[in-house]
């Protein structure tokens, strides 16, 4: 696994081994960042199920101002910190060892971009989506990775499911607040 583009382009990232870990493929990651390419520069990013931190690191490499990376696994947090040091983004990111829903329930900061790639088919994504709008800027964007056949809510807070993208068995689900029409 590597950083695709930006200031840390080509840097190799480490990940945990085993059945509990499912890193985002380069094809899906490239697609994800193509969708939000004009919104990354200067943004505040929330990577809610950090894994090895690759999504937040990709955003930082592409010019994001800062990132908060959350993961419930202590081993994952250790790997994330190593990857941040390898890419020299350790000063631009905060790593938090916490359950995603618990994290969201006690946050007040607002984020421009939320990247969610939780363990598949465990109901965690839906629970996080319920709380997520509370910590998002009105102009923010939420992107979720899930099996393409999963049915995600059409609306979370004021955010609406705007588009679904398919990459093999993987789906990307894009949420935004609809733009208000101006007279």
Task: Map tokens 């520069």 to a residue.
Answer: 41
How far is the C-alpha of 77 from the C-alpha of 73, rounded, in Å? 6
pLDDT in tens, 18-73: 655 667 778 889 999 999 999 999 999 999 999 999 999 999 999 999 999 999 99
Helices (H) and strands (E) in the chain, counts: 5, 8
What is residue 119's predicted lDDT score, i.e. its pLDDT? 83
Dihedral over Cα of 142, 77, 80, 29: its sign: negative
Pairing mode of beta strands 93-97, 111-116: unpaired
Nearest to 147 by CA among 175, 118, 107: 118
Is the CA virtual torsion 1, 176, 131, 104 positive or negative? positive
What pLDDT does 174 receive? 96
Distance CA 62, CA 100 (A): 24
Residue range 120-144, pLDDT digits in tens: 777 889 999 999 999 999 999 999 9
Position 104 pLDDT exceeds 50: yes
pLDDT greater than 90 at residue 103: yes
**pLDDT confidence band for 163 (50 / 70 / 90):** very high
Q: How many CA atoms lie within 13 A of 168 on its CB side?
A: 7
pLDDT class for 6, splitting at 50, 70, 90?
confident
- Quote the pTM value: 0.92
Reported as a single tens digit per residue, the pLDDT across 77-97 is 999 999 999 999 999 999 999
Domains and CATH numbers, the chain: 26-176 (3.40.50.150)
Residue 182 has pLDDT above 50, yes or no: no
């Amino acid at each position: 696994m590597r950083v695709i583009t930006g200031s840390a382009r080509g840097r190799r990232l480490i990940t945990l081994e085993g059945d509990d870990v499912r890193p985002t493929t380069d094809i899906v990651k490239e697609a994800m960042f193509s969708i939000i390419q004009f919104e990354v520069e200067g943004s505040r990013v929330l990577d809610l199920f950090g894994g090895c931190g690759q999504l937040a690191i990709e955003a930082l490499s592409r010019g994001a101002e800062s990132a908060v990376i959350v993961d419930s696994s202590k081993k994952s947090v250790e790997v994330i910190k190593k990857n941040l040091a390898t890419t020299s983004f350790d000063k631009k990111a905060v790593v938090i060892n916490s359950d995603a829903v618990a994290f969201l329930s006690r946050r007040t900061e607002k984020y421009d971009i939320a990247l969610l790639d939780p363990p598949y088919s465990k109901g965690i994504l839906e629970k996080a989506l319920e709380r997520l709008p509370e910590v998002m800027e009105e102009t923010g964007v939420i992107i979720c990775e899930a099996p393409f056949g999963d049915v995600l809510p059409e609306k979370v807070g004021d955010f609406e499911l705007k588009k679904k993208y398919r990459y093999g068995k993987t789906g990307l689900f894009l949420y935004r607040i609809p733009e208000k029409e101006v007279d």
